[in-house]
A and B are shown apart, each in its own frame.
Chain A
Amino acid sequence: MIQKKICILGAAGVGKTSLTAQFVYSKFSEKYLSTMGVKIDKKVVTVDDTSVNLMIWDIHGEDKYKKITNSYLRGSAGILTVIDGTRAETIQTAYEILERVHRDIGKIPNIFLLNKHDLSDAWDINEQALAELKKYGNPIYTTSAKTGEHVDSSFQKLTKMLIKP
């Protein structure tokens, strides 16, 4: 079977761990347990008759005290960059992370996830910010780790991008 390593990146608390938990175990919790270092899960995803064993590296959130280290990213075939839809400032962190990935690892397939879409009252991302994000030319999904919105389909899409670039 084909194996691929992917990384879930983004600012702290945007829902990386929750998205992984929803994808792998179909579970969600309101509790916030900040990830230290990295947590690794796996799930077999099938796209167009090809089964891929995804090794999902859920990496600690980036903040100004703790940058994501390159060694975790090394060998990654693709990434999911998570943005918290209720905190527009997490877009900036996403950009910074992505720039670093491009510089150190190269242009690997990426998908942006605008997470916590279920919290529409607190939604903080306007058209202009969205337009800016689209300029990257990477697919964008609105997701919710809580309701499961687009969680499967976004992982599925990334896998597809990995095996059919």
Chain B
Amino acid sequence: MSDPAHFNLPARALHWTMAAMVLAMLFIGVAMVTSVAHYHALVALHRPLGIGILVLAVLRLINRWRSPPPDLPPDLPGWQRKAAHASHILLYGLMLTLPLVGWAMLSAAGYPIGLAGSVVLPPILPRDPGLYAWLRPLHTVLAYTLFGIILAHLGAALMHGLIRRDGVLGSMALRLTASQSR
């Protein structure tokens, strides 16, 4: 039943769930660090949502490894092919490292990393304020980089869908029946 022209259903479901989550996280992140009134509520949401992204990113990589994505159109210029490949590696890399850096920096700062109720994550680094001072700006730089790549990814996907009309955008469309179609 595998369809070489489409991502499999788990891949498509994960893609759109994570797209919404990652965008939400980026907006929550930049909003919370300037907000006074909503800072606490937003950070309390940011932590579990970010860890959720980490878990889903791992699942997604496993799925991608077991069910490789469809090929890009053969007529796509080589530089675009390379750019697509590089940006996808970066996207995966950042979806994994950004939450890990978030978790690590809170560990280094010595905060309890509460997710919900009495659920607290164990630290993944020893307490070291100097390390926190280094990881905290790294979290910002990586988040902004991720946002930039997402913008490029969005633009490229729309170029495929609206201008090239080569089926690349459709290969990620969330039609539940897509993997059975054709």
Q: Answer whether A and B are interacting partners.
A: no
